[in-house]
Amino acid sequence: MAAQEPIWRDFVTAQNQGNGYLLATTITPEPPAAEPARLYNFQRWTNAYSVQTDLRYKLQYNPDLRLDKKEAGTWLEVFTAYYHFVGKLLAAEEAQNATKSRDADWTAVYESWKEVVSALYRGYNNTVLDAWTIPCLYVAGKYLRVFAIKADETAASQRDSGMAFGGGIEEDAFASVGQNDKLEDAARQINRLFALCLSDRAPIEDSRKWALYYMANLLFKTYFRLNSINLSKNILRSLQAGSAEMPPLTAFPRAHQVTFKYYSGVIAFLDEDYATASENLTAAYNICQARASKNKELILTYLIPTQMLTSHRLPTSTLLQQSPHLDRLFTPITRAIRPASLHAFTQALEAGEEDFVKRRIYLTLERGRDIILRNLFRRVFIAGGYETPKEGEAPTGQPMRRTRVPVKEFAAALMVSGAEVGDGEGGVDGDEVECLIANCIYKVRFPLAFATALFLYAFSPFLFLSSPGYLAMARVMETTRSRSQLCPSLARSKERGRGKQTKRRKERKDN
């Protein structure tokens, strides 16, 4: 028994000190770095026939432990299940290390670990285990997800090799069935743990609610992997409904805060609620540790497109160069937007399309065309110079910029930038140019009028829109044609917008 003493030494110390994190190390599937043989020693300490007797002796007759009968009984259940789990885990690891990964029974490992989780669940549900032990729930939920993923990957490998279902036609028939069977089951088990914490009515200092955000984050990770992102909204609604009886988010560990804000921001991003996404992602980035470069990279993957869309802010080269991944994704995009090159922007989108679609940011980045058009039209406006004083008119102190800009000047700028506004016969499709300009005007909610084929700028009550970029777009369209004659151009604009919405819905469905 001497070889097994360290696990009981840690258990006794944790119980006497009320140290939940030390207690959790006694049931973790990963041995401490300083004691790599801990799991082997624990398995050899007893056998399957006498494990309960030996454990009962350790728990009830140890003079250094002061556990009541119910608590000792709960830990007896937990360690008995843990002992059987260790045997399954070591067998699977040995098979995998011997390059026999297909012989590693990770499904059995998952099922045996689920027994450990169930024993812990009963202990908390019966109010036997105190709130200071909730790090054990962290370990339970974390590895439930890990082993579920390994079990599903092993099952998928067997299906691919024809070992499952006998191969042949049966393999095709069952190709879409049970591919994430264990992970879906793990999501249900973790949801039980989440509900267990949420329903606790104990005083807040002794409440299981301190594990809520950790469990919520585990569910977010699981639902995202299952591509069931809508289920994450149920978690957000549950937390919002119970917020009055919960500690504020700022009272939880920083790691819990960062992860929760990140996933909340990504969920809002996918719902096209970019203002909320920007708020949550910015908060996650600001409180993320400076050394957590991987976490910052994940946050910026969604924060950069969000900031581009909501505030037209582009990332600096210094920021992007801190991460080769971000540099590869976004540097071509920013290099196209700054000089207002539609051709370069299209090429950048096509080059990174696979990565952008995988991360569900493609259609958001595609809206960067609006920024390019704004910059382009602004340059046309500035290049137009100033009004020539009329004959006999006294010069004013400050020259006024030109208030009439011919459509052909915008068309020329679009052609130079690489926009597809040709009419197929070597000329320019004027309707297409007007359509692009009308879209820009609509997006700044400026009034439209029709008289001549010019864009006019006049002082109006909408001066809060008079930023340099919007000044170029805030021209009031006047044309010699009637409003009804221009409607086909605007109708095509609406059809194009509906087409993008359809593409976005299809992308969500495919992903």
In angstroms, the CA 351 to CA 472 distance is 30
What value does the mean pLDDT take over residues 462-481? Answer: 38
pLDDT, tens only, 421-446? 766 666 677 777 878 888 877 776 54
> Per-residue DSSP letters for 305-366?
HHHHHHT-----HHHHHT-HHHHHHHHHHHHHHTTT-HHHHHHHHHHTHHHHHHTT-HHHHH
CA-based nearest residue to 257, from 213, 307, 222: 213
Q: Which amino acid is at 65?
A: L
Say how far apart CA 275 and CA 381 lie, in whole Å.
30
Angstrom distance (rounded) from CA 236 to CA 228: 14
What number is the average pLDDT over the span 496-507? 51
* Cβ proximity of 477 and 453 under 8 Å: no
Question: Per-residue confidence at 467, pLDDT binned at 50, 70, 90?
Answer: very low
Q: What is the pLDDT of residue 234?
A: 94
- The secondary structure of 92-154, three-state, reads HHHHHHCCCHHHCCHHHHHHHHHHHHHHHHHHHHCCCCCHHHCHHHHHHHHHHHHHHHHHHHH
Residues 433 and 421: their CA atoms lie apart, in Å, by: 7
- How confident is the model over 133-151, as a mean pLDDT? 96
Tell me the C-alpha distance between 126 and 333, whole Å: 56
- Name the token pair of 374: 């704004």
Q: What are phi and psi of 452, to 5 degrees?
A: -125, 170
Mean pLDDT of 77-90: 95
Distances (CA, A) of 184 to 179, 211, 229: 10, 21, 13
* Per-residue pLDDT at 370: 85
Per-residue model confidence as pLDDT tens digits over 285-311? 999 998 999 999 999 999 999 999 888
Determine the longest span between alpha carbons in the chain, in angstroms: 112
pLDDT at 430: 73
**Around Cβ 291, how many Cβ atoms within 10 Å?**
8
Measuring CA to CA, which residue among 380, 367, 504, 334 is closest to residue 443?
367
Cβ neighbors of 50 (< 8 A, separation 6 or more) are none
pLDDT of residue 387: 73
Q: pLDDT digit string (tens) for 44-58?
A: 888 888 999 999 998
> In sequence order, what are the beta bridge partners of 477?
455
278 within 8 A of 306, measured Cβ to Cβ: yes
Average pLDDT, the chain: 82
Supply the pTM of this predicted model: 0.80
Question: What pLDDT score was predicted for residue 131?
Answer: 93
Q: 131 and 208 in contact (C-beta within 8 Å)?
A: yes
Rounded-to-integer distance, Cα 399 and Cα 459, Å = 15
Q: Which of 233-242, 406-415, 486-495 ranks highest by mean pLDDT?
A: 233-242
Q: How far apart are CA 107 and CA 250, in angstroms?
A: 38
Q: Rounded distance, CA 132 to CA 24, Å?
A: 11
Tokens 């290390």: give the residue. 97
In whole angstroms, what is the distance from residue 450 CA to residue 219 CA? 55
Distance, CA of 394 to CA of 417 (rounded, Å): 39
Closest by Cα among 269, 230, 276, 285 to 365: 269
What average pLDDT does this structure show over 90-99?
86
H/E stretch holding 1: none
d(CA 212, CA 194): 6
Centroid of chain to Cα 361: 11
Other C-beta atoms lying within 10 Å of the C-beta of residue 319: 15
Classify residue 81 by burial, with Cβ atoms within 10 Å: 0-12, 13-18, 19+: buried
What one-letter code names the amino acid at 456?
Answer: L
Residue 107 near residue 182 (C-beta atoms within 8 A): yes
pLDDT higher at 174 or 31: 31
- 29-43, 100-114, 317-331, 496-510, range with the lowest pLDDT: 496-510
Burial of 280 (0-12, 13-18, 19+ CB in 10 A): buried
Answer yes or no: are the C-beta atoms of 10 and 25 closer than 8 Å: yes
**Strand 404-406 to 454-456 pairing:** antiparallel
**The dihedral of CA 292, 260, 359, 225: what is its sign?**
positive
The pLDDT of residue 499 = 53
What SS3 string covers 411-453?
HHHHHHHCCCCECCCCCECHHHHHHHHHHHHHHCCCCCCCCCE
8-state DSSP, 62: -
Q: Are 199 and 124 in contact (CB under 8 A)?
A: no
In eight-state DSSP terms, residue 32 is -
The lowest-confidence range among 1-5, 314-318, 402-406 is: 1-5
